[in-house]
Structure 1
């Protein structure tokens, strides 16, 4: 469920069930041409759907963090993650196609999913299965 699909008066009732926040990180630098930006956003959307569609009753997708230009990206991501947790989310999933993101794993991030854009093109089914397993493992660690 996307953040803007939640009706304000329904939030208190839904909040206990929507305990997981999906934070997409595009990882753009601002120097990409429009075709690259379009391609990255389309691929990110496709990967996000792997979580959004089957887990709609449990996950709230927040707006993407599009531009990363600072030196300490992990600090920026951690700050946002901590704010999301303070707002009431129990689990935070950070999802990106930016392969440098492996170094972004912050202490508050419960699950960091990094999908290589080139691998997604040739192995999307295997990657989808892996993402689903990771999300389920986050909620049910003993299974």
Structure 2
């Protein structure tokens, strides 16, 4: 679900089920030509589709951080944002990006960083989609396993 589809009235009932927040990070720096910005947004949309569609009812997609580059200050901004989302009540915070440098970040407040290159999404067999699905399900399963012990 998108954040904008959830009303204040509905959130109390939905919150136990929507335990995972997707935080899209585009990685624009401001110097892109219009078509480059469009390509970046389309790539991010394609990566989000890998998680939003099959896991609707479990994930909430928050507004994207568009102008956020691989610089250290921007990484700190994403780290703080992830921490705030966790404080807002999400059990899992997943950063989603099509930007390769951002995809390589290590963030303490994010449970997972999902990065798929646009090229990987175009290959037959959809190996990238399968791998991302396995990673997010493993995240959910490992947390449940810890709770059972």
Whether TM-score is above 0.5 comes out as yes
TM-score, normalized by length of structure 2? 0.88
- In the alignment, the residues of structure 1 paired with residue 70 and residue 43 of structure 2 have an alpha-carbon distance, to the nearest angstrom, of 23
| Structure 1 residues 70 and 138: alpha-carbon distance in aligned structure 2, compared to 1, 3 A threshold | closer
> What is the match of residue 96 of structure 1?
97
Q: What secondary structure does 2:30 align onto? A: coil
> What is the match of residue 117 of structure 1?
118
- In the alignment, the residues of structure 2 paired with residue 104 and residue 129 of structure 1 have an alpha-carbon distance, to the nearest angstrom, of 21
> What is the match of residue 82 of structure 2?
81
Q: What secondary structure does 2:71 align onto? A: coil
TM-score, normalized by length of structure 1? 0.91
CA contact 1:23–1:93 (8 Å) conserved in 2:
yes
Give how far 1:108 is off.
1.1
Coordinate RMSD, CA, aligned: 1.7
- In the alignment, the residues of structure 1 paired with residue 12 and residue 115 of structure 2 have an alpha-carbon distance, to the nearest angstrom, of 32
> What is the match of residue 139 of structure 1?
140
Which has the larger share of strand? 1
Give how far 1:140 is off.
0.6
Q: For structure 1, which segment, 64-73 or 9-18, has the greater mean C-alpha deviation from structure 2 after superposition?
A: 64-73
Matched residue count = 142
Give how far 1:13 is off.
1.1
Describe how 1:25-64 pairs up with structure 2 within 5 A.
Answer: 25-64=25-64
Q: For structure 1, which segment, 36-45 or 66-75, has the greater mean C-alpha deviation from structure 2 after superposition?
A: 66-75
Gaps of 5+ in 1: none
Q: For structure 1, which segment, 80-89 or 34-43, has the greater mean C-alpha deviation from structure 2 after superposition?
A: 34-43
Q: What secondary structure does 2:96 align onto? A: strand
Q: For structure 1, which segment, 69-78 or 16-25, has the greater mean C-alpha deviation from structure 2 after superposition?
A: 69-78
